[in-house]
Amino acid sequence: MGTPTIAPHSFLKRRWKLPESVADSRQLDSLSRSLGRHPLTTRLLLARNLNNPESARQFLEPQFKNILPPRSIPGLEACADLVARAITSKEKITIYGDYDVDGITGTTMLHRLLKAASADFDTYIPHRIDEGYGLSIDAVKDIARRGARLLLTVDCGITAVEAVQAGRDAGMTIVITDHHEYKAPLPPAHAIAHPRLHGSTTGNTDLCGAAVAYKLVWAVAARLCGSDKLTPTYRDMLIDFTALTALATIADVVPLLDENRILVSYGLKQLSRSNMAGIQALIRVAKFENRSIDGTAVGFSLAPRLNAAGRMGHANMAVELLTTEDAARADELAEYLETKNKERQNTERKITAEAIAFVRQMPQLPSALVLCQQHWHPGVAGIVAARLVDHFNRPAFVLIDNGHTISGSGRSVPGFALHEAIAHCRDLLISGGGHAAAAGIKMHTAQLAAFTRKLCDYTAQSQPADALIPCLDIDEELEPCDIDCQAFSELETLAPFGCGNTKPKFLIRNVQVAAPPRRMGARGTHVALQLKINDRRCRAVGFGLGDAEPLLTVGMMLDLVVHASVSHYYQQPQAELRIIDFSRSDGRPVHGETTAADAADSVLMKL
């Protein structure tokens, strides 16, 4: 990844990693002139291997015309043929979607397409707690009894061999659309659309499930129109559906590069002007009316509210929100999701605190964390696992024991593929699957100890020793001359930020605390600093770093890891540094008699 610059006494106890190489000055000057961009932006483009004007412009100016056609997804053409035929033949279609944002939005797109085509259809979303993830045999049999002739999955089904066979035995045509990892054998479906089907590396192999559904809508619409040139109804539908695809792409944490970047760039703009009543109601309850909606707004505000339906109730409510044409009903459903999201937050905080306390009581920290309780809420297992990963920087599973079986979710650290770990422990599981960063498992209660041992052994053998030390990957060093309002504003052209294109992190060395630090926020959870950098002053803010305030003194020299920002705090735009982590420039501990781990723990519990 890069050459590590160790910061042994950083406030958050992180390793700091700088990039291995520095941009060639002639190449930097040439690309900056060609693009008309500040050198700071150009350095970041070069670090992303965008080293010629054409590739850099495609990145900076995403164009919808560069969206790949539906046929780029292996198997999708066959899926579209079967769905279009079922629509025109008036066969009953059941859309079977997952209960997360990816499944909810993909189901919504297909629901709206089939409704516009006057198809005979219904939708089925499994209950997260009562039924669990994926296509189940019981659900398939029930759908067949209700008269479905074609079963169409969204964001699930690629590993459901037995359930698909049950559907075929019941006389249904089975069409699978999915993006999750899988191993042979494939389910015996009539058609399967998957970005990596049969090991394909063509097209966009990193599409989320809703993006696959988006391409299916496009292909089916073309067949219904009898031409690649769509009618205004379907064309407008595809434009509006970029908003749904953006929600899913960000929420499912797939790389925001290439085609995904285009879909998200257009989708974020479309969200505020969407014709869907449910989208507008969701934006209102999240208090994003008349505000810019970026990837952070989706990831931390809009998507969690949609997910709350499945976590704390039933995801059907989120599908209804996104498919209703009744504005009053949309407002009612959005308020319901708001209530469920608050319930989720309270439950998550309580369980996270319990889980961290359990880990603190362990005599030795294992290479992977496996925590199991009977009273924990299954709907927040994945979120709590993610909090444990943030806190302890190792793979974590949060599981719930119902007395006979244990099930739950896992989250991973960068570089450790969770789905491969699950494959290694397959002999101990009833079921399990997912992808590199997130997964779900189910086992008999008696297998918990054996699973924990096998997972920890595998993790210890697969991970280098320093992988368990949290790391901050730094994009570039920031020079005093880079601290410029125009330069910082221009960095926003690199957005949308997210997986694969993270918001740039900069290292700036030898800055001086120029005035007494000041706590901010109602509870003093943030800190504001005035810094002296050479002969100029600059404001810096550390959100969530309020506990660092007593450790910082006037005159102290610091090295900072920061995001570059533009603040309107003083009405006039000003360059501002958003502090992520810091250490003393002289290498001495910044924390005095208090351990950095204790201070950092206090911060992490508030994030």
Given this model, what pLDDT does residue 595 score? 44
Each as own residue / partner, the long-range contacts of residues 326-335 (CB below 8 Å, 24 or more positions apart, any chain) are 326/277, 327/277, 327/280, 327/281, 329/277, 330/277, 330/278, 330/280, 330/281, 331/281, 331/284, 333/278, 333/281, 334/278, 334/281, 334/282, 334/284, 334/285, 334/305, 335/285
Given this model, what pLDDT does residue 571 score? 74
3-state secondary structure of 63: coil
Q: For the domain bounded by 66-339, which CATH number is listed?
A: 3.90.1640.30
> Residue 77 to residues 84, 208, 219, 220, 449: CA-CA distances in angstroms?
11, 18, 7, 9, 46
Domain 3-19+474-606 has CATH 3.40.718.10: no
Sorted by sequence, the CB contacts under 8 Å of residue 377 that are 6+ apart come out as 312, 347, 351, 400
DSSP state of 185: S
Let me know if 554 is exposed, middle or buried by CB neighbors in 10 A (0-12, 13-18, 19+).
exposed
CA dihedral sign of residues 150, 155, 159, 162:
negative
Given this model, what pLDDT does residue 4 score? 52
Given this model, what pLDDT does residue 6 score? 61
CB atoms closer than 10 angstroms to residue 91: 19
Question: Which top CATH class is 362-470?
Answer: alpha beta
Q: How far is 212 from 260, CA to CA, in rounded Å?
A: 11
- Tell me the pairing of strands 536-542 and 572-584: parallel
Could you tell me the maximum CA-CA distance found in the chain, to the nearest angstrom?
Answer: 78
Through-space distance between the first and last CA atoms of the chain, rounded to whole angstroms: 26
Domain limits, the chain = 3-19+474-606, 22-58, 66-339, 362-470
Strand partners, 154: 97
Query: What's the one-letter identity of residue 473?
Result: D
Given this model, what pLDDT does residue 72 score? 96
Q: How far is 209 from 45, CA to CA, in rounded Å?
A: 29
Q: Which residue has the tokens 């502090």?
A: 579
DSSP state of 547: G
3-state secondary structure of 475: coil
- Name the H helices within 5-147: 25-35, 39-47, 53-60, 76-88, 101-116, 137-145
Given this model, what pLDDT does residue 594 score? 44
Sorted by sequence, the CB contacts under 8 Å of residue 260 that are 6+ apart come out as 204, 206, 207, 208, 211, 249, 254, 500
pTM: 0.92
Q: Which residue has the tokens 């990693």?
A: 17
Sorted by sequence, the CB contacts under 8 Å of residue 169 that are 6+ apart come out as none
Shortest CA distance to 299 belongs to which of 351, 256, 238, 237?
256
Query: Which parts of the chain have pLDDT scores under 70?
Result: 1-8, 569, 592-607
CB 556 within 8 A of CB 588: no
Q: How far is 280 from 286, CA to CA, in rounded Å?
A: 10
In the chain, DSSP finds a helix count (H) and a strand count (E) of 20, 20
Given this model, what pLDDT does residue 8 score? 63
